[in-house]
Structure 1
């Protein structure tokens, strides 16, 4: 390690087989650490090593190695990370600094592959990226719970309204029953009076008692029959309702598209394969860029400095590679024209661009596969719910059928018993004391009818009391519903407020950073929160999106709004960097992550890089920035320089 200025060291990092590094140990200090040098000098690889020690998964294992290792010593504590190739993937282990590196990956590790910078470069949706560190899932779950509770209360209120609508008919029924009871009592009093007038002969007392006994038995049997018929009718209606529900569920089940065998597993496998493909492509892009940068440097220098970049001495055979317009190829030793090598470099750039486009295509495929997986999982859950309910219905129908059979048998037995008792009563009535017996029979029937009417009245009274009690509950239910609605509104407002506050924070920090960089034709970059309707499965829901706007100034001084799509590549790089830095500040990443890593700043000129370094260093305990040698000269010389890795 070659350090231009010695300062108190904040720690050191030992690296093996990360990126292009075979093995090295580098010391760093608190504050700014500048990795100064030309391209292809493993500066990005060292930054990846810092990321690995922090806990990031976005690390490349050296191409000719099966495993890599990083050991970070920081403030007397040691953090380790090991990466091993296994079955086409990289498996990590060890004890990194962060348990969850997501926040750092998004807003602290600002390499060229940073997800926020790439999202701006490709014009992707920013809402989920920016709000990913903000935990709104718990609030949304509470909203779903409250909405379900509110819907249940609405169903109860609808049921109360239905019962309230039936109340006048029930009250009329009660009035009618009272009138019928009064009429029956008058009839019974009249019959009993007639019975007393004719039934004063002592010898008929025994016959009278026998008839009354039979009539009581008949009345009891008829009452039992009515009860059985009522229960039977209730069970039949219940069975019909269950059969209708079963038919509906069968139709619903038949309408559900069955998940093809093995499709879900195949999708999971495809997602894993696509993720592996994405990692391979990104690694290839990184390696291609390193090769292009290295070859460009060698072509540009064409002398001892180029050999020094390769780690060789001035008398090394590589020193003879460049001679006028002819160049000795440093890979095969043959003499080729400089333009031919430049053409090869251009081809490598084209391949790199193709692979970047392939990465974007793979990401689209991953999103599509994940969406299809969610759709299949939801369909499977719905099918399981329907099948489960169908099984429950079958059990209920079986119990209902058994009950119907039992009640039908009981009804038939009662009908036979009533027929027998009626025959006995008819036999008694046909005898000479038929007048007395007729009065007893009539009185008995009237008592039975009166009893039934009184039972009906009691049932109607209970029903009305129950409805009135339910109606009294309505006001409390409405209050509960309004309270829940207020809670839902408050929670939704809270999410909206979080989104708006986050956007404001980002906009304030982007304005500060952009003002500091002072670009002539890039006046303002800001986020706008808007709502849009999207389709999820069979539902249309409202989602929030964050649109990135840019205000530019023409040469004549006229300001106008532009879109990210119209920015140049360097302006997109600057915009993505500004947005990522705003996230570092807005989410206060520096409170949990001691490092901020900067790379690929070629789109920013030297003076602005120096301003940017000074500004960010106020927030980060450790700032590690990879700069070209000429850019590093603009940075304050008091900062630590690391020129060899």
Structure 2
């Protein structure tokens, strides 16, 4: 039960109202406060300012709406400050997504955005309807997560490409090492043959050996200088880029872990089973009571003071009220479990997202710091080595000039060839050492492939899960729409055979747009060709489909209906019957001439309302 107290909200200066479970009809003539009462409910719910200003009565500086429920008391105050109205207090709904769902799919007044979008025959109407049906999913945040994961995926794919390129280069690098080893062995064999052929005295052999060694060392040193100069230049450029990247990198703080994530995930799975079990138990037993089928499953003793029922499960005697109360307890338990599951899923999602972001950025930071440190150390070592190499070149050139002068007289063709071979051997040794180092680097890079591919698969799975989560909810909206439309066709027998909510998708399967398609006389037509009453019914069906798909009944236990003047009295009653099972409480407005609706009727006889001339809300 709800108890509402209102002061200076829309056309109500002061008044109170009580709402009961089931259908509540606010029945009065024009300007008696029917719509104002619904505005007061929306105010205390926290949705009044979503699509406009708050409904403080014209000429008043402050007002409030206070709602007392079985779970607590909620109060929202409105105050005029300057040229605008501000809100304060503790509304029933506080989460942005809950406010959005209630405003779009539960509070179905004349200006409800879903009904307005259905009325609009232009492409803007379909575009707005698409936005409304997608908004509760917070698609922008899901897309942002997907974009972040895609960026990580692209980075890892680049690393995999680098590893694969290294893997492709391995055979050629191995061939180069093998070739150099073979050439070195052949050069050594030629040297041995030449040394056997040359009949040199000990002094000549010594000079030849020294000269070959010096020339080889000079060539190697000059090659080393060129490599060092090029390598230092590349490393300095790379160092600057890495340092800029590190300076721009921001790492979020570590998320606080309240409990073990694995335990939460296990708890979520357990809650899924428990919620489904409670739902089936509640539904089956509730159906027995709602369809007056108790006699079918158990014995009933009819008495003056009431019926005694033998419980069809335990065999104990009870009453329908006691069974109903127990079923309500089961349903409350199911709702508690669903709320717990939702909180756990949100915690797990937030934790995993933060952890993934931090892990990625930390890995990148650590890699950058390691690379920067290694680059600085390498540059320092290379510069020192370059300095020493230049000094060695000068010393070697002086030694060679002197040795050549000493050896010139004794040198002949065989001696010259022997010297060249010895020089070649020294050069081959250096090339072989460099080739082996390159082979080792390529082998190390190629070895990262397996780990990177595992991480890539994990990220791809997360992207797929996010897209499926979004798309499944949109598919459910279409399914719910189809069911609600079939029920509406049975209830009202409108002038068309069928209505579809078509969902178009992008290449990746995500929702592109929703479109209403009408089938009349076996041919497709637009909503614009229907009567006003038929269009209004479609608006309610569309809102109800989203209401069920997004479980809005678990967010706010009431549906508000107003502004249905396009419908005949019997159709208004039919609409009430159509909607009353969708929520714990249905609150609708009606004129007195519409007759009895059943349920709980509210009249504004004791309300203090503004006059017809004063009825203007800001």
TM-score class, shorter-chain normalisation, is: 0.5 to 0.7
**What secondary structure sits across from 1:618 in the alignment?**
helix
Determine if contact 2:216/2:426 at 8 Å carries over to the other structure.
no
2:557 match: 594
* Aligned pair partner of 1:71 in 58, 66, 69: 66
What's the TM-score, normalizing by structure 1? 0.61
Q: Taking structure 1 as reference, are residues 86 and 444 closer, same or farther at Cα in structure 2, changes over 3 Å only?
A: farther
Shift of 1:398: 13
1:272 match: none
Shift of 1:464: 4.2
1:190 match: 193
Determine if contact 2:499/2:517 at 8 Å carries over to the other structure.
yes
Determine if contact 2:518/2:526 at 8 Å carries over to the other structure.
yes
Q: Give the whole-Å Cα distance in 2 for the aligned partners of 1:215 and 1:532.
A: 72
Q: Give the whole-Å Cα distance in 1 for the aligned partners of 2:378 and 2:454.
A: 39
2:483 match: 508
Shift of 1:590: 1.7
2:429 match: 454
1:528 match: 502
2:558 is the alignment partner of 1:583 = no
2:515 match: 547
2:24 is the alignment partner of 1:26 = no
* Aligned pair partner of 1:573 in 536, 556, 562: 536
**What secondary structure sits across from 2:56 in the alignment?**
coil
2:224 match: 227
Q: Deviation string for 1:383-405 (max 9, x for gaps)?
A: xxxxxxxxxxxxxx999999999
Determine if contact 1:17/1:65 at 8 Å carries over to the other structure.
yes
Q: Give the whole-Å Cα distance in 2 for the aligned partners of 1:584 and 1:485.
A: 32
Q: Taking structure 1 as reference, are residues 238 and 543 closer, same or farther at Cα in structure 2, changes over 3 Å only?
A: farther
Query: Whose Rg is larger?
Result: 1
* Aligned pair partner of 1:463 in 433, 438, 441: 438
Q: Deviation string for 1:132-169 (max 9, x for gaps)?
A: 33466676556445544543454345445545655565
Q: Deviation string for 1:255-277 (max 9, x for gaps)?
A: xxxxxxxxxxxxxxxxxxxxxxx
**What secondary structure sits across from 1:124 in the alignment?**
helix
Q: Give the whole-Å Cα distance in 1 for the aligned partners of 2:379 and 2:75.
A: 69
2:261 match: none
Q: Taking structure 1 as reference, are residues 530 and 86 closer, same or farther at Cα in structure 2, changes over 3 Å only?
A: same
Q: Taking structure 1 as reference, are residues 39 and 124 closer, same or farther at Cα in structure 2, changes over 3 Å only?
A: farther
Q: Give the whole-Å Cα distance in 1 for the aligned partners of 2:73 and 2:172.
A: 82
Shift of 1:187: 3.1
1:635 match: 597
Unaligned runs of 5+ in 1: 1-9, 247-396, 534-539, 553-557
Determine if contact 2:107/2:560 at 8 Å carries over to the other structure.
yes
- Counting matched residue pairs gives 462
* Aligned pair partner of 1:46 in 32, 37, 40: 37
Q: Give the whole-Å Cα distance in 2 for the aligned partners of 1:512 and 1:634.
A: 23
Determine if contact 1:236/1:404 at 8 Å carries over to the other structure.
no
Determine if contact 2:502/2:515 at 8 Å carries over to the other structure.
yes
Q: Deviation string for 1:158-186 (max 9, x for gaps)?
A: 44554565556545534542342123202
Matches within 5 A, 1:3-22: 10-22=1-13
Matches within 5 A, 1:410-489: 413-429=391-407, 434=410, 446-464=421-439, 467=442, 488=463
Q: Taking structure 1 as reference, are residues 575 and 193 closer, same or farther at Cα in structure 2, changes over 3 Å only?
A: same
Q: Give the whole-Å Cα distance in 1 for the aligned partners of 2:514 and 2:581.
A: 28
Q: Deviation string for 1:81-137 (max 9, x for gaps)?
A: 112334544322111111132211111111111111111122232233123334666
Matches within 5 A, 1:155-554: 155-156=158-159, 158-159=161-162, 162-163=165-166, 166=169, 169-193=172-196, 197-200=199-202, 220=217, 222-236=219-233, 413-429=391-407, 434=410, 446-464=421-439, 467=442, 488=463, 492-516=467-491, 518-531=492-505, 543-552=511-520
Unaligned runs of 5+ in 2: 243-374, 608-618
Q: Taking structure 1 as reference, are residues 25 and 641 closer, same or farther at Cα in structure 2, changes over 3 Å only?
A: closer
Q: Taking structure 1 as reference, are residues 542 and 623 closer, same or farther at Cα in structure 2, changes over 3 Å only?
A: closer
